[in-house]
């Protein structure tokens, strides 16, 4: 019910214009992996409005997503995120025990979401350390654990016009955009079939980097 309320409120205050690439419908029962591109704000939970009411029930029961400890350890932000996303799992952004714990929770019975850039883009197009944004390879570990279903790529148009990193209060009554693409997961993996795990990872990262470059809404 909380997700449904958020879906309604986000639709009212931040209506989203979407485009399918190509145009297709989605069955949330089939989606096993959501790859969210162009990470610009903690307010990306607003894109919950893209999920059907039936899909909300699926997400509430089976959804998991990693969350950076620097965000989840904040007293207010952390509590809000844990309340809205019960399946959020704390990681340290390093390939340590926290990442391995998250991977142990990934299977074909859940919907796993990942923001493969691993950090938020600032207004200048760089991360908080002034480094260029890029796709990190950790999400390929998730892909390798899944064997069926669909992948949903969500390319955000960005939310700096609502709240950029460092700003305290969001602006209301703004429109948001997203381009969506759904692909068959086994078919996608087979595109990059290679006995060399390192080569497979390199090819998948390059493909998703191209999607980040080419599929972001204007």
What are the structural domain ranges in the chain? 20-53+94-214
- In this prediction, residue 95 carries a pLDDT of 67
Residue ranges in the chain whose pLDDT is less than 50: none
162 C-beta neighbours (distance < 10 Å), count:
21
- In this prediction, residue 182 carries a pLDDT of 94
pLDDT digits (tens, 9 = 90+) for 103-158: 999 999 999 999 999 899 999 999 999 999 999 999 999 999 999 999 999 999 99
pTM of the shown model:
0.93
Q: Could you give the C-alpha distances from 9 to 5, 125, 171, in angstroms and in order? A: 6, 29, 14
65 C-beta neighbours (distance < 10 Å), count:
18
Query: Do 2 and 83 meet the contact criterion of CB atoms below 8 Å apart?
Result: yes
- Helical ranges in 73-196 per DSSP H: 75-84, 97-104, 138-145, 185-191
Tell me the C-alpha distance between 67 and 36, whole Å: 13
């Amino acid at each position: 019910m909380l997700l449904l309320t958020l879906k309604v409120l986000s639709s009212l205050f931040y209506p989203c214009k979407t485009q399918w690439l190509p145009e297709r419908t989605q069955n949330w029962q089939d989606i096993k992996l959501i790859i969210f591109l162009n990470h610009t704000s903690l307010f990306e939970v607003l894109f919950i409005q893209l999920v059907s009411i039936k899909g909300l029930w699926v997400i509430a029961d089976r959804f998991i997503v990693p969350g950076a400890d620097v965000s989840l350890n904040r007293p207010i932000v952390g509590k809000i995120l844990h309340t809205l996303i019960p399946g959020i799992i704390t990681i340290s952004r390093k390939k340590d025990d926290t990442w391995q714990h998250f991977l142990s929770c990934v299977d074909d019975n859940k919907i796993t979401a990942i923001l493969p850039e691993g950090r938020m883009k600032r207004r200048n197009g760089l991360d908080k350390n002034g480094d260029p944004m890029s796709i990190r390879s950790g999400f390929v570990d998730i892909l390798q654990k899944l064997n069926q279903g669909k992948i949903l790529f969500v390319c955000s148009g960005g939310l700096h016009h609502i709240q950029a990193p460092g700003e305290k209060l969001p602006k209301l009554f703004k429109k948001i955009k997203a381009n969506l693409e759904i692909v068959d997961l086994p078919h996608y993996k087979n595109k990059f079939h290679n006995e060399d795990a390192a080569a497979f990872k390199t090819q998948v990262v390059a493909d998703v980097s191209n999607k980040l470059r080419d599929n972001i809404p204007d």
